[in-house]
Each structure stands twice: as C-alpha cells, then as structure tokens.
Structure 1
C-alpha cells in the first residue's frame, strides 16, 4: 500500500522541477525515513498506509516540538522554518477531527464505559477510554488533546 509514498514521490518531482528547496528537502527526508523503516528488521517489507501515516505524524510532531524549543530559545526564524516543514507534511495527514466531533466521541466512550461498569467511570478507567477514543479517531486527533478531553469528562 504505497499510495502515500507514491504521492510523496510525485510531489517531490514537482517540487524539484519548481526548484522549491524547502519542500524538496522535507519530502526527501520523509521518504528516507520511510525507506529506512522498510528495510529495518529481519527482512525488507513494504509498509502499510497506516504505518506510513504514523511515520508522517511522527515527523510532524518532531518538527512542532523543535519549533517550541526554538521559540523558547528565542530563535523565531528557526521555529518558523520548522512549523513550515510541519505544515508541508501535514498535507499528507487526514483531516483532524473537529472539537465537536471529538467531544461526541469522548462522550460516547465515557457513556459506554459507564454502561459496562454500571456506574460513572473514574480516573482509573481513563487509560481505557483514551485508548478507545484513539482507536476510533484513527489518528485524526492528537493524543494530548484526547487525554485532556477525557480527563475533563471524567471530572
């Protein structure tokens, strides 16, 4: 399932023809990361679409964290560059859930946990609820945001 990888390769060719250095560098980097992951382990294998998305999510997260560090260190130009790279990679991720959709998903999982327990779930069940919400969100919501929403719903 290399549809995403093929899309990135096509976009890389387009960026190279347009001589867009930043996009070219970012796409080469993510393709290298995907390639490294494909050959790691006992035998080379082709990654699934979900694994490719996980790699891109990881790369976006790295760049956002680096931008936060640069901002804290007073290096705004570097922070802007990292955020621009994260935005480039963000094009390959599925659209994020809206606040309302995420709230509805959290409420549904909390009520499902309440039905299963026979009482209102507490903080002990937070991990189970966060895991269930993340599975249903299919990577369209950040873990920190999901955890915060679940924590708020349980209190």
Structure 2
C-alpha cells in the first residue's frame, strides 16, 4: 500500500513538474529498494509498510540533524532544502500522536505489561513499536516510558 502511494506521488510530481517533491520521493524509493536488497541477501521478505514507516522516520531524523549542522555552519540555503524534504517525507507518515495521547497510551502499555521498573522498559517500547509504528517519535516515547517507570 505504501509502495503504491509513493509510486502515485512520483507520477503526480512528474506531471506537476515539482522537482523537489520528485527528487525526495525518489530518495524514499531508493532507501526502500536498498532495504529490500539487504533483506533479500539475508533471506528475508521485502520490507513491509511498517518497515517503510521506520525508514521514513529515520530519513526525517537524518535531515533534522543535517539542517541543524547547516544552520550552525551558516548554510541557510542547505538547511532550508533539508527542511523542505522533511515536510515532503512527513506527507507519507500517518498523523503523529500528541504528547498527551502518547502518555495515555504509554500508561496503558505499562499497565498491560505489568512493568515495574526500568528493566521492563524494552518490553514496553517493543509493544509501542509494534502497535504505533509511524505514529510517534520513539525517542520521545522512550523518555516518557523511562519517566513513568522510575
């Protein structure tokens, strides 16, 4: 399903002559293809939609770091390019959960798993990743889980 959405987005960007969107969608498809090839070499199936969501989140994180470095280095035009790509990539992600909703979900996961302390943190994060891939920032969620388990 995500692959179809990306393919359609690429065709639409070509028709509309949106160069930035086209190049960003191509970068996404290349990252997916690279992961497919790596999986094939390891004897695994092609990437799933959940894997694609993780790839997109990783791409956003990389671009955020690059934009920060470019801004600190006085290269505003390159930082703007990275930020524009982030916005395009975000179009393919499901709507992100609010901090309040994340706390609510995390509290439910902690209760469900019976987590008692920080040693149970991995179990909670694993469930969150299974159920909410692409819907939350897991770095932020990890901090919230840690605070709640103290």
Name the TM-score class by shorter chain. 0.7 to 0.9
Do the aligned partners of 2:121 and 2:145 also contact (CA within 8 Å) in 1?
A: yes
Alignment of 1:2-151 (within 5 A): 3-40=1-38, 41-42=40-41, 46-113=46-113, 116=114, 121-151=116-146
Q: CA 1:45–1:126 in 2, change beyond 3 Å: closer, same or farther? A: closer
Do the aligned partners of 1:103 and 1:149 also contact (CA within 8 Å) in 2?
A: yes
Matched residue pairs, number? 148
In the superposition, the TM-score normalised over structure 2's length comes to 0.83
C-alpha root-mean-square deviation of aligned residues, in Å? 2.3
Q: How far apart are the structure 2 equivalents of 1:37 and 1:104? A: 33
Displacement after TM superposition at 1:83 (Å):
1.2
Cα offsets for 1:31-89 (capped at 9, x unmatched)? 12222322333379643222222222222222122112222323222112101101101
Larger-gyration structure (1/2): 1
Q: How far apart are the structure 1 equivalents of 2:106 and 2:98? A: 12
Structure 2 residue ranges without an equivalent (≥5): none
In the superposition, the TM-score normalised over structure 1's length comes to 0.81
Secondary structure at the aligned position of 1:96 is classed as: coil
Structure 1 residue ranges without an equivalent (≥5): none
Query: Which runs of structure 1 show a deviation greater than 6 angstroms over 4 or more consecutive aligned residues?
Result: none
Do the aligned partners of 1:126 and 1:150 also contact (CA within 8 Å) in 2?
A: yes
Do the aligned partners of 1:97 and 1:137 also contact (CA within 8 Å) in 2?
A: no
Match status 1:153 vs 2:144: no
